[in-house]
């Protein structure tokens, strides 16, 4: 046994904090922040130390599992060899493609996919052979409005404007809680210190949220806003800025069109209309609009609370229009664009929208994926294109997509289900074959996704901490193994076995800091600098960085402009008949449904409670700690009541990712902290009509004693 020191970026959230990991043989003995990481500067959150729990978790699957039916009708999952597992799975995929066509195969990819570069680089080894239209992912229950807005305005699905908080003096944040999430569509480690620094230099953070979140607690101002009304507030800000002559596009004016069309379109969205529905006064709305427009360097940023609601795409579009008309896009201290070492904007397609639609509800695809809220019905609805075989990768849609109970039942109707996943969870318990990859510490890694979202251009390559155990496969090897077998069966060309680190090496060499630049970066340079390489602050990149065909920004985007009448029609009447509006919440020791099986992350008091304002609890005759029933159109769950003024009256809050009470799962700590799944009461028909994104925020519910 020998002690060793390893350098690694944490892959458990978007912050990608640098770590120093000390090992003794096969054991992790310490995990600390890497002070030499130019992005995270030594900061870590509680999730980082859980990496050793994931690696050592006795519930983590270490060999393929096959679902076996017993004489009494029960099922168990039993270990089998890799050859049998891959052969069985590939045969099921090929059989379905030959018998029913490729659209009989469904694919769902979960959130952890982007945290594993082998899954990103090699899923095409299988899916390019099948090219099914029935593809789904966590994107449409999370971030689809961001992608659409980036594609519409800047020409590419990954052209995200990144808040330059370190150089800003006014930050307007809607529905985001980066103190808990460490940033979302925004890689921003050590956000607490960055907020403190903003305020210390005289800057201002203004937060709008139906809950007084951990971030709102740090804000200069916090305003409660009724869930689902954000579009009225954002459009009122835009209206005031344009109405009062506060627009100043700066250098954007040279390549921006359509502002006049937008100004005319938003005239109906007055501060008075917004005040009537949002709970924020007219004077406050106008003051925020003037303060924002007059600030030298300002940021308007919205995240989950404004994305996963009935006007998510409209919200995100209007937020960026505000940034554009005030000249705060591509401006230091405003929202800027990254230039990562492996340039995914250059290396991937720009995205597309509405090129095909779901069979039952005619919901639009984005980037060849259908909205995940349609997955269950595409399994259960007969006819051409019905999903017969389902592949899930690193996803738990039974807990993470709307109306999870409906999907839970639908999975039982499949001819075959295959899951690439290290756990027997609420979704994979339905799988006929489970293919578990190596642990995160047993493979190398490069953050393809999150350098695109980072508030500073940096790059680092993470070598494996432990050797790959004998008899195991990496994610990329599983995809290639399946692809080889499916290709042989269907008479197609087999995928190439190129390890992901070689793809990254080529991406770096051909990238903006590669062999033909002064930096002359390649993979070896990153290996020689294990804490990462600093490539500098974000810099203005427009119009050259724009991916639109004419290198211009067209603000008069037809799709969101055509959605404005829907918004006006919904709020033409003042009364809201829903007793309560349900919102989610995030904890710094959580990340969706995949971090509840580690003691150090779930210890302490129960976090799966329903928050309710004291005045609402009093009116309902409910008491602290009492079990209450929360009922929506699609179902009911029960949870203990937490009475708090952190939520505004008329709003209740339940965290996301719990509900570990299904039979047949193998996650002992999660089962002991099972909670309830908020997605058992979110509604698969309650969507953003424009984008198809799930509206899991602002769901109408009633609450009563259980």
Q: Give pLDDT, residue 576.
A: 75
Report whether pLDDT(50) > 90: no
Are residue 45 and residue 83 in the same domain, yes or no? no
Report whether pLDDT(590) > 90: no
Buried b (16+ CB within 10 A) or exposed e, 617-643: beebebeeeeebbbbbebbebebbbbb
Are residue 125 and residue 264 in the same domain, yes or no? no
pLDDT digits (tens, 9 = 90+) for 468-514: 999 999 999 999 999 999 999 999 999 999 999 999 999 999 999 99
Are residue 51 and residue 73 in the same domain, yes or no? no
User: How many domains are there within the chain?
Assistant: 4
Domain assignment present for 125: yes
Supply the range of the domain harboring residue 263. Answer: 164-330+543-565
Are residue 79 and residue 137 in the same domain, yes or no? yes
The percentage of residues in the chain with a pLDDT greater than 90, rounded to a whole number, is 94
CATH number of the domain encompassing residue 242 = 3.40.228.10
* In 416-474, beta strands by DSSP E: 416-420, 433-435, 445-446, 456-459, 461-462
Q: Give pLDDT, residue 575.
A: 67
CB atoms < 10 A from the CB of 81, how many?
12
Domain assignment present for 91: yes
Q: How many helices (H) and strands (E) does the chain have?
A: 25, 30
Domain assignment present for 529: no
Domain assignment present for 342: no
Helix (H, G, I), strand (E, B) or coil at 278: helix
Domain assignment present for 477: yes
Q: Which residues contact 587 (CB under 8 A, 6 or more apart)?
A: 180, 607, 655
Are residue 36 and residue 174 in the same domain, yes or no? no
CATH number of the domain encompassing residue 42 = 3.30.200.210
Are residue 305 and residue 442 in the same domain, yes or no? no
Contact 390, 106 (CB under 8 A): yes
Domain assignment present for 146: no
Report whether pLDDT(417) > 80: yes
Name residue 461's beta-bridge partners: 446
CATH number of the domain encompassing residue 613 = 2.40.40.20
Q: Give pLDDT, residue 574.
A: 59
Are residue 27 and residue 115 in the same domain, yes or no? no
CATH number of the domain encompassing residue 432 = 3.40.50.740
Over residues 577-599, the mean pLDDT reads 87
Are residue 374 and residue 423 in the same domain, yes or no? yes
Are residue 105 and residue 224 in the same domain, yes or no? no
Proportion of the chain in helix, strand, coil states, percent, rounded to 5 = 35, 20, 45
Nearest Cα to Cα of residue 215 among 163, 178, 166: 178
Report whether pLDDT(594) > 90: no
Are residue 97 and residue 242 in the same domain, yes or no? no
pTM above 0.85, yes or no: yes
Which segments of 110-267 does DSSP mark as H helices, in order? 117-122, 124-130, 144-154, 178-181, 191-200, 214-218, 230-243, 259-265
pLDDT digits (tens, 9 = 90+) for 167-189: 999 999 999 999 999 999 999 99
Are residue 268 and residue 301 in the same domain, yes or no? yes
Are residue 216 and residue 122 in the same domain, yes or no? no
Average pLDDT value for the chain: 96
């Amino acid at each position: 046994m020998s002690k060793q020191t390893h350098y690694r970026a944490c892959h458990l959230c978007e912050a990608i904090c640098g770590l120093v990991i000390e090992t003794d043989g096969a054991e992790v003995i310490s995990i600390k922040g890497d002070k030499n990481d130019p992005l995270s500067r030594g900061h870590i959150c509680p999730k980082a130390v859980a990496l050793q729990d994931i690696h050592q978790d006795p519930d983590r699957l270490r060999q393929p599992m096959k679902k076996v039916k017993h004489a009494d009708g029960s099922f168990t999952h039993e270990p089998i060899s890799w050859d049998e597992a891959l052969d069985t799975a590939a045969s099921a995929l090929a059989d379905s493609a030959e018998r029913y066509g490729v659209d009989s195969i469904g694919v769902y990819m979960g959130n952890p996919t982007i945290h594993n570069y082998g899954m990103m680089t090699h899923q095409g080894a299988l899916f390019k052979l099948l090219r099914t239209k029935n593809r789904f992912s966590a994107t449409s229950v999370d971030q689809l409005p961001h992608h659409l807005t980036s594609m519409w305005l800047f020409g590419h699905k990954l052209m995200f404007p990144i808040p330059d908080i370190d150089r800003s003096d006014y930050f307007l944040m809607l529905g985001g809680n980066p103190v808990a999430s460490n940033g979302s569509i925004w890689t921003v480690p050590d956000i607490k210190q960055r907020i403190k620094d903003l305020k210390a230099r005289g800057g201002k953070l203004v937060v709008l949220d139906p809950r007084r979140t951990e971030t709102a607690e740090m804000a200069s101002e916090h305003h409660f806003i009724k869930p689902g009304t954000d579009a009225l507030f954002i459009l009122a800000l835009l209206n005031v800025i344009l109405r009062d002559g506060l627009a100043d596009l700066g250098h954007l004016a040279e390549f921006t069109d359509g502002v006049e069309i937008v100004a005319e379109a938003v005239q109906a969205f007055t501060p008075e209309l917004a005040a009537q529905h949002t709970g924020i006064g007219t004077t406050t709305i106008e003051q925020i609009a003037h303060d924002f427009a007059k600030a030298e360097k300002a940021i308007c940023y919205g995240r989950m609370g404004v994305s996963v609601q009935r006007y998510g795409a409209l919200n995100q579009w209007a937020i960026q229009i505000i940034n554009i008309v005030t000249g705060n896009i591509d401006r230091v201290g405003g929202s800027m664009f990254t230039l990562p070492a492996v340039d995914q904007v250059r290396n991937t397609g720009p995205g597309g929208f509405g090129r095909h639609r779901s069979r039952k509800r005619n919901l639009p695809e984005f980037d060849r994926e259908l909205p995940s809220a349609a997955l269950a019905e595409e399994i259960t609805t007969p006819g051409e294109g019905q999903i017969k075989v389902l592949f899930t990768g690193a996803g738990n849609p039974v807990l993470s997509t709307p109306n999870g109970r409906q999907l839970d039942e639908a999975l039982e109707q499949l001819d075959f289900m295959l899951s690439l996943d290290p756990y027997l969870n609420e979704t994979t318990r339905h799988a006929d074959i489970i293919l578990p990859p190596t642990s995160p510490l047993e493979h190398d890694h490069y953050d393809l996704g999150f350098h695109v979202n980072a508030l500073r251009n940096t790059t680092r390559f993470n070598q494996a901490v432990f050797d790959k155990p004998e008899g195991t496969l990496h994610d990329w090897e599983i995809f290639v193994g399946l692809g080889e077998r499916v290709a042989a069966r269907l008479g197609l060309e087999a995928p190439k076995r190129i390890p992901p680190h070689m793809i990254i090496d080529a991406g770096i060499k051909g990238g903006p800091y590669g062999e033909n630049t002064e930096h002359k970066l390649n993979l070896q340079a990153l290996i020689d600098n294990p804490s990462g390489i600093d490539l500098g602050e974000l810099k203005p990149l427009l119009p050259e960085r724009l991916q639109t065909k004419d290198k211009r920004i067209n603000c008069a985007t037809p799709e969101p402009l055509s959605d404005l009448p829907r918004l006006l029609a919904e709020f033409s009447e003042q009364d809201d008949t829903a007793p309560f509006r349900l919102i989610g919440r995030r904890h710094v020791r959580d990340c969706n449904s995949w971090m509840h099986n580690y003691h150090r992350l779930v210890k302490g008091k129960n976090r799966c409670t329903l928050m309710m304002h004291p005045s609402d609890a009093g009116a309902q005759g409910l008491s602290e700690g009492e079990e209450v029933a929360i009922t929506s159109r699609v179902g009911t769950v029960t949870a203990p009541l937490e009475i708090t003024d952190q939520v505004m009256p008329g709003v209740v809050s339940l965290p996301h990712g719990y509900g570990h009470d299904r039979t047949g799962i193998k996650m002992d700590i999660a089962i002991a902290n099972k909670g309830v799944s908020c997605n058992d009461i979110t509604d698969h028909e309650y969507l953003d009509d424009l984008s198809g994104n799930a509206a899991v925020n602002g769901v109408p519910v009633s609450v009563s004693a259980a």
